[in-house]
């Protein structure tokens, strides 16, 4: 469990509210409303809108401008340093995958072996497999070219194809160790890792089905968008056909970072010794940044050279992957800045204290606290840490099975209704080319369906465990 404990060392601390409850709620509402109005009515760029929204929340909460700016800058910087770098590396790999014909190879295999009716189910499975060891952001940037191509080839809505993949990625992030959220809750509540892992998979499968293929079919009717041509493959030469890397080589290239991160997770669980040389190696190469960097370097040979690209063309392909995501990185980082302003006002702590005063079962209470923190701060990780910390005194004496269910209830709550204070919201918004309202009608509601159905499955399991 060293990995979970190490993660906790860098975890955000609970912040005392800087103003009264009424003032903080009004500040929070004013910031959210301003962002929505600026983007939808004034047509201001989301990057600028998020900056103004963050300033509004902080100043309305009674903090001085210097402190608000520092909070926003800290959140912006930490998000750009973590998520931003991963998006950039993922975009390079995605462009390699597209221009080499590797994405076409995967899509041809998926489309060739699945009817249009079964494609959303296939995409949910792909999302779940990719999401098992990967952070949501990495899985999304790796899957985006495949989602685009599957949508165009099958002539299905981008939402119908994309929502199931997003559901698979998000459910794994919230329910299944070794993702930071579940692992942190396990460490805090002293739950059994093996039992939680098994029950996490049992909860994830039905929630992915409900929020993925089933909800995706409905959402595809609400919002109809065509896949953009961002990752369309460029021709090798005028009038010439590029040879494709084989399906096996392509699959190896895509799953390489998955295998590296999964190897690190397994080493943390099985070896559990920071001084062991084998775990040291896995801890290094399984770090998301290093795993993706290795994937890009290997992809230059397996995908780029495998498709017959020369050195100059390979360089051009790598470089061309960055401009389309520059704006996305700025928006996602600004979302991180807005989130940090909310965290530093202490609104999350305030809402958690309110929920703790309610009289209900520990499973429902754990879910509710996580929901409130998620809505207030936009961070699933902050919601998980806060909720787990606040219910510590209520879980003493619970049997292992029920303790694991409490962990999963926290995970379910941490997924609830992603909106404008969540960096993931803007990632989906930009990659799927949606308006704010369309993003809420698809992504935000999908996250809510995941959260509520996850709680429902946990409560059903509680009846038999």
How far is 8 from 183, CA to CA, in rounded Å?
10
What is the model's pLDDT at position 241?
55
Q: What is the pLDDT of residues 169-196, one digit of tens each?
A: 999 889 987 666 787 788 778 888 778 8
Residue 227 has pLDDT above 50, yes or no: yes
**Between 86 and 212, where is the model more confident?**
212
pLDDT at 296: 93
The pLDDT, as a whole number, for residue 231 is 62
Q: Please, what is the Cα angle at 447 between 345 and 178, to 5 degrees?
A: 85
Query: Which pLDDT band, with edges at 50, 70 and 90, does 9 fall under?
Result: very low
What's residue 359's pLDDT? 74
Selected residue with higher pLDDT from 213 and 360: 213
Helices marked H in 2-45:
2-9, 21-40
Please tell me the distance from the alpha carbon of residue 464 to that of residue 444, in angstroms, as a whole number.
31
Q: What is the 3-state secondary structure (H, E, C) of 178-219?
A: CCHHHHHHHHHHCCCHHHHHHHHHHHHHHHHHHHHHHHHHHH
> Which tens digit of pLDDT belongs to each residue from 256-292?
887 887 788 788 778 777 778 888 898 899 888 898 8
Lowest average pLDDT, out of 235-249, 327-341, 399-413, goes to: 235-249
pLDDT in tens, 365-396: 999 989 988 988 787 877 887 788 678 767 87
230-263 confidence digits (pLDDT tens): 666 554 434 445 678 998 998 899 888 878 877 8
Tokens standing for residue 448: 């809510």
Instruction: Please determine, for residue 3, whether its predicted confidence score (pLDDT) is greater than 60.
Output: no
- To the nearest whole percent, how much of the chain has pLDDT over 90? 40
Summary mean pLDDT of the chain: 85
- Residue range 12-35, pLDDT digits in tens: 456 789 999 899 999 988 998 898
Q: How many CB atoms lie within 10 A of CB 463?
A: 6
């Amino acid at each position: 469990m060293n990995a979970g404990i190490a993660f906790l060392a860098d975890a955000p601390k609970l912040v005392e509210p800087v103003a009264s409850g009424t003032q903080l709620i009004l500040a929070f509402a004013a910031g959210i409303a301003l962002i929505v109005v600026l983007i939808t009515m004034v047509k201001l760029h989301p990057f600028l809108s998020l900056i103004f929204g963050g300033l509004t929340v902080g100043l309305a909460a009674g903090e001085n401008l210097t402190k608000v700016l520092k909070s926003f800058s800290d959140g912006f910087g930490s998000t750009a340093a973590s998520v931003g770098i991963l998006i950039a590396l993922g975009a390079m790999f995605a462009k390699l995958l597209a221009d080499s014909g590797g994405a076409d190879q995967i899509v041809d295999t998926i489309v060739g072996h699945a009817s249009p009716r079964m494609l959303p189910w296939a995409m949910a499975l792909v999302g779940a497999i990719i999401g098992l060891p990967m952070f949501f952001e990495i899985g999304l940037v790796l899957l985006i070219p495949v989602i685009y191509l599957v949508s165009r080839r099958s002539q299905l809505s981008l939402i119908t194809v994309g929502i199931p993949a997003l559901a698979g990625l998000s459910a794994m992030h919230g329910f299944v160790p070794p993702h930071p959220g579940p692992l942190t809750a396990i460490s805090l509540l002293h739950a059994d890792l093996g039992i939680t892992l098994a029950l996490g998979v049992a909860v994830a499968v039905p929630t992915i089905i409900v929020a993925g293929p089933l909800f995706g079919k409905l959402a595809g009717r609400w919002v109809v968008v065509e896949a953009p041509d961002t990752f369309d493959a460029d021709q090798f030469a005028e009038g010439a056909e590029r040879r494709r890397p084989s399906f096996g080589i392509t699959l190896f290239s895509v799953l390489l970072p998955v295998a590296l991160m999964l190897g690190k997770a397994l080493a943390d669980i099985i070896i559990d010794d920071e001084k062991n040389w084998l775990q040291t190696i896995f801890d290094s190469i399984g770090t998301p940044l290093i795993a993706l960097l290795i994937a890009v370097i290997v992809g230059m040979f397996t995908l780029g050279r495998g498709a017959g690209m020369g050195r100059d063309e390979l360089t051009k392909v790598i470089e061309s992957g960055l401009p389309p995501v520059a704006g996305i990185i700025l928006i996602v980082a600004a979302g991180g800045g807005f989130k940090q302003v909310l965290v530093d006002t202490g609104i999350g702590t305030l809402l958690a204290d309110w929920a703790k005063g309610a009289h209900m079962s520990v499973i429902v209470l754990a879910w509710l606290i996580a929901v409130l923190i998620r809505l207030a701060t936009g961070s699933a990780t902050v919601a998980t840490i806060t909720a787990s910390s606040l219910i510590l005194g209520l879980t003493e004496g619970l049997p292992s099975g029920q303790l694991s269910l409490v962990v999963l209830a926290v995970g379910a709550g941490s997924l609830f209704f992603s909106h404008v204070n969540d960096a993931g919201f803007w990632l989906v918004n930009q990659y799927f080319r949606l308006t704010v309202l369309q993003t809420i009608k698809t992504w935000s509601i999908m996250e809510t369906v995941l959260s509520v159905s996850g709680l429902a499955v946990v409560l059903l399991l509680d009846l038999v465990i």
